[in-house]
Structure 1
Amino acid sequence: MNPIAALAFGLAVLGTSLAGQAQNYPDKPVRIVVPYQPGGTVDLVARVLAQSLTEQTGTQFIVDNRSGASGAIGSEAVAKAAPDGYTLLVQSPTLIANPLISRKVGYDPIRDFRPIAMLGSVPMVLSIHPSLPAKTLKEFVESARANPKGHAFGTSAVGSPMHLAEEAIKRESKLDIPIIVYRGTAGALNDVLGGQVSGMIDAIPSSAPHIAAGKLKPLAVTTSHRIASLPNVPTVAESGYPGFEMVSWYGLWAPHGLPEPIAKKLEALVQKAMASQFVSDRLAPQSFEAQTLLGNSFSAFIARQQTRYMVIVKEANITAE
């Protein structure tokens, strides 16, 4: 067999092998890494997605919480995993922002991952402990300005949408209070609920039950318009910050090098899951808006977000060094 024919034969065999892998995928449990502690919105979205994928395929999709370093530890573990479709990552924009903030992050969000799908987004809400007298964002800012040592924000991770939104409000209001970084949403929420921290900006799914129970006082939502689940809560823009808008979005990634047939199989499974009544019933009440972007469309979205975060990080001089 001449070299050209041998190469063609080899490529044909490889193509057949990859197609066979995709057809049989998944034939063993799939691990979905969540790089935060259980209890936050990333964790909630991942668990609902995992359950739907498990029911679709008959194969277990298992959530693995690997928290630390503002989501970098779990994200890096996925970046270094075998690109076979059996280790995946559910993350927020923190995946994109982390390398902009710290040179110690051990992954490149573009080079080291294969984007599978954007899953959707949720609004965020700025809430404070109900013992604080402020009834509006303006009143809270005035109180914090008068006593900066007596106030602090909590946040789930350096570079998270919540953190960047808090930094933006601090900068625009000339507010000088610390932001305490936790290893996930649950830790920050617990300290706000306990009164150790004044307040935080959080994705609505994890704060909503505490707001409903009167354990958190909502002051403003971060969307450009009021939301149906909190109709009496004004936007940040209405509260004195014209043009302010920021949401938290969530996506699914695999390690770079994932064979394209498996990537396409995953895209189809995820698209079906996110369009299902099962996922809607569990996430829509949490103000989650499903918005599935696949493949190149998701990659283009990520590139736009990366440019936006570069500007925010630079303007706020955010660094983890």
Structure 2
Amino acid sequence: MRRRELTAMALGLLAAPAVHAQGPWPQGRPIRVICPWPPGAANDMLARLLAQRLQEKLGATAVVENRTGGAGLIGTNAVLQAAPDGYTLLGSAFNTAVMPLVLRGATFDPQRDLEVMARTAQAPLVMVISGQRPQRTVAEVVAAAKANPRDWGIAISSLGSAGHLATIEFNRRTGANLDMVTYRGTQPALTDLMGGNIQLLIDPSFALLPATADGRVRALAIAAPRRSSLAPDLPTMAEAGLPGYEFQSWYGVWAPKGTPNEICERVNGLMQETMRDPAIVQRLTAQVLEPVTESIAETRRFIAAEITRASELLRSVNYQPE
């Protein structure tokens, strides 16, 4: 009996290093950060920042996969179907929260079927006009659009984007009834705007303010509570005659439902640390992005409020998912 106990103990000691070698997450496998949007967008940049920090701080191998299409649904579905083990993450944006409200094919519930890990950054929206148009204010645009509605169209960079809902609210508030034309991303919408094929666009300042440099696009107003230090001459929408008109895009990290809480908390802590890094803050601020540091509970409350606001807006205009 004694010999058996010693043998069992010896086997246990021999096995111990192998158990220890497995270690906590992450270990031995690459982490995929799926971005449902093309390279170059803010979503992509922040997804790559996440992958970089996973490698630097956790010693993980992390790669970004751009799975585009379906207004973000293809990439999101890939995460919904992945194992909840921390090795597949979703780096996306506002669209993730409201996708089921605007897309018939989106049958998931973002609060029920995904684990939110962190919100990372946010950016106010800006309204821009084609440089070929003479109007210089929002009021002038509304007057012209009401007088000649067929001459005016407004681009939507993606169904379910913050700009999409902001445009719906703009039409509702002003009665301008601008014709909405949906594109597959901000860049093709901007290209048509510069060419005069479309007249207006409301989208994140991150993408639009740099495009105003050569005059082919002109900014009219920013949908923020105060003016931006990077564009101090640009009025807020409230100053332009629409009090309370405030919209922003925001960006975050999700994981498949059932991903262990300790993994979610670890990613949240990592991203909070990242978004407090002075070098990162300076980098994002220069691109009109505001870093966000929130707990998972705070982010859940924020997203719930965003979904409620979007639901009420879409219900008020009898919006039907496309």
Give the TM bin, normalised by the shorter chain.
0.7 to 0.9
Q: Give the superposition deviation at 1:277.
A: 3.1
Asked whether 1:68 is paired with 2:91, we answer: no
Residues 26/233 of structure 1: CA separation in 2 closer, same or farther (3 Å cut): farther
Q: In the alignment, which residue of structure 2 is the partner of 1:284? A: 285
**Residues 205, 288 of structure 1: 8 Å contact kept:** yes
Q: In the alignment, which residue of structure 2 is the partner of 1:306? A: 307
Q: In the alignment, which residue of structure 2 is the partner of 1:8? A: none
Query: Helix, strand or coil for the counterpart of 2:219?
Result: strand
Residues 275/202 of structure 1: CA separation in 2 closer, same or farther (3 Å cut): same
Higher relative contact order (CA 8 A, sep 6+): 1
Asked whether 1:207 is paired with 2:221, we answer: no
**Residues 182, 188 of structure 1: 8 Å contact kept:** yes
- Looking at structure 1, the residues matched to 241 and 123 of structure 2 have their Cα atoms a distance apart, in angstroms, of 22
For each residue in 1:274-309, what CA deviation from the matched residue of structure 2 results, as whole angstroms up to 9, or x when unmatched? 222342232110121111222222112211211111
What is the percent sequence identity of the aligned residues?
36
Q: In the alignment, which residue of structure 1 is the partner of 2:234? A: 233
Q: In the alignment, which residue of structure 1 is the partner of 2:13? A: none
**Residues 49, 279 of structure 1: 8 Å contact kept:** no
**Residues 78, 87 of structure 1: 8 Å contact kept:** yes
Q: In the alignment, which residue of structure 1 is the partner of 2:182? A: 181
Q: In the alignment, which residue of structure 2 is the partner of 1:129? A: 130
Q: In the alignment, which residue of structure 2 is the partner of 1:99? A: 100
Q: In the alignment, which residue of structure 2 is the partner of 1:88? A: 89
* Segment drifting more, 185-194 vs 53-62: 53-62
- Looking at structure 2, the residues matched to 89 and 183 of structure 1 have their Cα atoms a distance apart, in angstroms, of 19
**Residues 132, 216 of structure 2: 8 Å contact kept:** no
Residues 240/296 of structure 1: CA separation in 2 closer, same or farther (3 Å cut): same
- Looking at structure 1, the residues matched to 227 and 71 of structure 2 have their Cα atoms a distance apart, in angstroms, of 29
Q: Give the superposition deviation at 1:253.
A: 0.4
Q: How does the TM-score come out when normalised to structure 1? A: 0.88
The unaligned stretches of length 5 or more in structure 1 are: 1-16
**Residues 209, 219 of structure 2: 8 Å contact kept:** no
Q: Which of the two has higher C-alpha Rg?
A: 2
Q: In the alignment, which residue of structure 2 is the partner of 1:9? A: none
Residues 232/284 of structure 1: CA separation in 2 closer, same or farther (3 Å cut): same
Number of paired residues? Answer: 305
Q: Give the superposition deviation at 1:21.
A: 6.5
Letter in 2 for 1:187: P
Residues 19/125 of structure 1: CA separation in 2 closer, same or farther (3 Å cut): farther
Q: In the alignment, which residue of structure 1 is the partner of 2:198? A: 197
Letter in 1 for 2:77: E
Asked whether 1:34 is paired with 2:35, we answer: yes
Q: How does the TM-score come out when normalised to structure 2? A: 0.88
* Segment drifting more, 19-28 vs 133-142: 19-28
Query: Helix, strand or coil for the counterpart of 2:91?
Result: strand
* Segment drifting more, 185-194 vs 107-116: 185-194
**Residues 90, 252 of structure 1: 8 Å contact kept:** yes
- Looking at structure 1, the residues matched to 260 and 21 of structure 2 have their Cα atoms a distance apart, in angstroms, of 11
- Looking at structure 1, the residues matched to 312 and 89 of structure 2 have their Cα atoms a distance apart, in angstroms, of 29
Q: In the alignment, which residue of structure 2 is the partner of 1:257? A: 258
Q: Give the superposition deviation at 1:135.
A: 0.6
Query: Helix, strand or coil for the counterpart of 2:286?
Result: helix
Residues 46/193 of structure 1: CA separation in 2 closer, same or farther (3 Å cut): farther
Residues 178/21 of structure 1: CA separation in 2 closer, same or farther (3 Å cut): farther
Q: How does 1:8-27 map to 2 (within 5 A)?
A: 23-27=24-28
The unaligned stretches of length 5 or more in structure 2 are: 1-17
Q: In the alignment, which residue of structure 2 is the partner of 1:6? A: none
- Looking at structure 1, the residues matched to 227 and 307 of structure 2 have their Cα atoms a distance apart, in angstroms, of 26
Structural RMSD (CA): 2.2
Q: In the alignment, which residue of structure 2 is the partner of 1:154? A: 155
**Residues 52, 279 of structure 1: 8 Å contact kept:** no
Q: Give the superposition deviation at 1:95.
A: 1.3
Residues 300/127 of structure 1: CA separation in 2 closer, same or farther (3 Å cut): same
Residues 177/80 of structure 1: CA separation in 2 closer, same or farther (3 Å cut): same
Q: Give the superposition deviation at 1:47.
A: 2.5
**Residues 53, 270 of structure 2: 8 Å contact kept:** no
- Looking at structure 1, the residues matched to 21 and 316 of structure 2 have their Cα atoms a distance apart, in angstroms, of 49
**Runs (4+) of structure 1 moved beyond 6 Å?**
17-22
Q: Give the superposition deviation at 1:233.
A: 0.8
Letter in 2 for 1:125: V
- Looking at structure 2, the residues matched to 32 and 188 of structure 1 have their Cα atoms a distance apart, in angstroms, of 26
Q: In the alignment, which residue of structure 1 is the partner of 2:248? A: 247
